[in-house]
Structure 1
Amino acid sequence: MIEVTRLNGQSFILNALFIEKIESLPDTTITLSNGKKHFVKEPVSDLIQSITNYYQQIGLIKLTQKEVIEDE
């Protein structure tokens, strides 16, 4: 889960596993796998860092890195 801030300043928690894409249009737009869109204040680079940190916390990145190493 990552914390993001709506354009009106209200923060909320978003499940990063459901993020399909992130765009800068010029506001940062997060599209979820169900099609719902959220417009947030955070820049794309900050969201990528937050998502990466979340994946590391739940062990998802370690699994991906391990598979790549084993496939080489």
Structure 2
Amino acid sequence: MIKLTKLNGVEFLLNDSHIQIIESIPESKIVLDNKDYYLVKESFDEIINKIAEFNAKTADKESYLKARRGLTEVADENQESAIK
């Protein structure tokens, strides 16, 4: 699922596997398989990048989780160093 922002500023999650088409009109219009659609603030390229990032995360969950843990550990160490 990807996080997007409606034109009124409300954030929501969208299951990208239900996207049928994305149009740039100039805002982005995302049409789903059931013909419902959303107008969002994100550009066409931002939406594509979010989908690619989400698919990469789900395709290689173990590596993604290890990287996230590593980033958390580094942040914790930096925070501890700052306190000392």
Give the TM-score of the pair, scaled to structure 2: 0.68
Max Rg structure: 2
Where does residue 69 of structure 1 map in the other structure? Answer: none
- Larger relative contact order (C-alpha < 8 A, sep ≥ 6)? 1
Q: What is the rounded CA distance, in whole Å, between the counterparts of 2:31 and 2:24 in structure 1? A: 11
Q: CA deviation at 1:58?
A: 1.7
5+ long unaligned stretches in structure 2? 61-84
Q: What is the count of residue pairs matched by the alignment?
A: 60
Would you tell me which structure has more strand in proportion to its own residues?
1
Match of 2:53? Answer: 53
Read off the aligned partner of 1:17 and give its amino acid letter. Answer: S
**Partners in 1 of 2:49 and 2:24 — Cα distance?**
16
TM-score, with normalisation over the residues of structure 1?
0.78
Identity %: 37
- C-alpha RMSD of matched pairs (Å): 1.3
